[in-house]
Structure 1
Amino acid sequence: MTKTPTNYARQFERVALLLVWALTIALFTFLIPNNFLNWGNFSIMFASYAPAALLALAIIIPLTAGDYDLSVGATLTLSASTIGVLNVWQQMPIGWVLVIVLLMGLGIGLFHSLFIIYFRVPSLVVTLGSTSLMSGVVQLITNSSTIGGIDNSLIMAAVGYRLFGIPYAFYYALAAALVMWYIFDFMPLGRKLLFVGRGREVARLNGISVNKVRVGALCMSAVLASAAGILYAGVLGSADPYSGLNYLLPAFAAAFLGATTIQPGRFNPWGTIVAVYFLATGITGLSMLGIPLWVTNVFNGGALILAVTISQITRGREASDIG
């Protein structure tokens, strides 16, 4: 079967972001030849952006089902801060603390589901409100201060052990992406998420329990965001009540940018991982060039707008092709 120019364009679209990422690496290698392209730099980048990768993966679960979760950054911060308060200040064993944090994430997901599914409040409103709510709680329980001295076993599990010179934190994000890819592509649950996101009434008429799927998506998003908070605390070795929120914008940009690659037109975990580290490469390179801090915000904001625009164009074309 002969490939048409359109087919070649589609195949190129699948790898376009990977090519742009390679060009970005080449550009910064040329501009910063002695510092940028070395394994130590990339090892640090892979580990430090692992929480952002988990956060971006958390975002695409409800997005696939047609809901937004703007609270993942606050959930990450609350989870990391809870680890600091319980483990450092209350001297609670780290194992029990991690269980509590993950259960707290489940509770946050159920809280969101109550208002979004059963009271029919738009997900943007609920999760934006809970972001402010959780941010206030974080400031209350931490006295607005950074908590250091987190159990060394968590730090070692995140960045102390390495494989091929890269801390385990990166591989946790890869493992999460692998599990999500399997669920999205090979399990009935993944197909149900996709059907619900593309048309809830059609999904309901086909026998899918739309509300249960949406509740599950919101709960898994919050639990994964809590796991990102655990990883964040392990990478930093402390609980910062503010900086976790800085991951929200890049994570959303990566979620939408990831929908333009690997499987264009769909939120997909591998595209999301690629997008996270493409953005991380850009931010790292700009920082090493000594660019002012405000440029990072401009870069993230511009990336989000561009990513959403390209994603909408791609999704619209896929929908018209199906139709």
Structure 2
Amino acid sequence: MKTVERYAVLVVWALVVLFFSWRSDSFGSASTVKLILSTQTVILIATLGVMISLAVQEFDLSIGSVVGFGGCLVAVLDGVHGLPPGPAIAVTIVVCALFGAVNATVAVLLGVPSIIVTLGTGTLLTGITLGISDSKVVTGISAKTVRFVTDPFLFGIPLPFYCGLLLCLVLWFVLQHTPLGRRMVFIAENREVARLAGLRVTLIRAGALVATSTLGGLAGIVLAGTNSAANPQAGASYLLPAFAAAFLGSTTIVPGRFNAWGSFVAVYFLTTGITGLQYLGYAGWPEQVFYGGSLVAAVTLSHVAGHRKLPTFA
């Protein structure tokens, strides 16, 4: 039974691929596989960021705002002010990490529920994003940055996808095979008991929120490079997909825990379904249905199975 539960999403994913390959001749082509793998790196990185904070029961609703801000900041620094790509990317990542530190300070040190803090700071950051971009799409990103993000690297798939794979590998190792990962699980189960056991609960929770914002900024950089421009309002569309994939990922591979490979499977499972429906001529609604439905279903299944309590926003 446990094996079935671990790999159920993978089995359903395979069935989805077979169904759409049967209904559409072009769906099963190599170009479709490349398209799916190449275009979802932003969601994958954002999902992994959300997963880190969820692993310690922190809910960072600012992830979409950070993605949008990161994309606009790197575009402004690179495309408007002419900063070289390397320093522009580095500054963007550092600023996003500092934003995560602000979330951590208010949520962890001052004790305000993270879901409330990040809802407010995310809205604040959206306003800042509109300000630095003058509420316009920012263009002029250097060709070097665009080529780095979009040029085929291996098997016709750009380098960011492989960076996402490497990130999954690193997070899988940390969460599953290090003392830090075990401490994060302990903290998620019961913060007070973990504190009494001598764990540095405050530091680990704060670090998780900083990591979430840092990866959100990285996702924004990839988004800006992929589009050769940055839309200041683009980040909002990544909030629901990131949470949907993270929660769905917690029902597979390592059921009951937010885990890296489960998140990876969930991101591409959902994308496969959406892409398949688009190939059949359905447009507009599949994305909302898949992401919204999967979020409700994943949280419900986790609760019913007894692997994880429903979120406690304290």
Match of 1:224 among 191, 215, 222: 215
Quick check: 1:11 aligned with 2:9? no
Q: For structure 2, which runs of at least 5 residues remain unmatched after alignment?
A: 310-314
What do residues 10-31 of structure 1 show as CA deviations (whole Å, max 9, x unaligned)? 1011111001111111111112
**Residue aligning to 2:275:** 284
In structure 2, distance between residues paired with 1:182 and 1:245: 30
What do residues 133-160 of structure 1 show as CA deviations (whole Å, max 9, x unaligned)? 1111111111222122312222222221
1:202 CA displacement: 0.9
Quick check: 1:214 aligned with 2:198? no
Structure 1 stretches (4+) deviating beyond 4 angstroms?
Answer: none
The AA in structure 2 aligned to 1:91 is: G
Quick check: 1:128 aligned with 2:119? yes
**Residue aligning to 1:6:** none
Conserved in 2, the CA contact under 8 Å of 1:86 and 1:92? yes
**Residue aligning to 1:205:** 196
In structure 1, distance between residues paired with 2:303 and 2:85: 43
In structure 1, distance between residues paired with 2:152 and 2:27: 23
Number of aligned residue pairs: give it.
Answer: 309
Conserved in 2, the CA contact under 8 Å of 1:169 and 1:235? no
**Residue aligning to 2:312:** none
1:253 CA displacement: 0.6
**Residue aligning to 2:23:** 31
Quick check: 1:178 aligned with 2:169? yes
**Residue aligning to 2:51:** 60
1:256 CA displacement: 0.5
Distance 1:90 1:178, change over 3 A: same
**Residue aligning to 1:155:** 146
Q: For structure 1, which runs of at least 5 residues remain unmatched after alignment?
A: 1-8
Quick check: 1:191 aligned with 2:182? yes
1:257-272 aligned at under 5 Å gives the runs 257-272=248-263
**Residue aligning to 2:244:** 253
In structure 1, distance between residues paired with 2:248 and 2:290: 13
Q: Which moved more, 1:260-269 or 1:149-158?
A: 149-158
In structure 2, distance between residues paired with 1:92 and 1:51: 23
1:161 CA displacement: 3.1
In structure 2, distance between residues paired with 1:178 and 1:225: 18
Match of 1:88 among 69, 79, 93: 79
1:106-125 aligned at under 5 Å gives the runs 106-125=97-116
1:310 CA displacement: 1.4
State percent identity of aligned pairs.
39
SS in 2 for 1:265: coil
Match of 2:40 among 49, 56, 64: 49
1:259 CA displacement: 0.6
Task: Normalising by structure 2, report the TM-score.
Answer: 0.95
In structure 2, distance between residues paired with 1:67 and 1:296: 26
1:291 CA displacement: 1.3
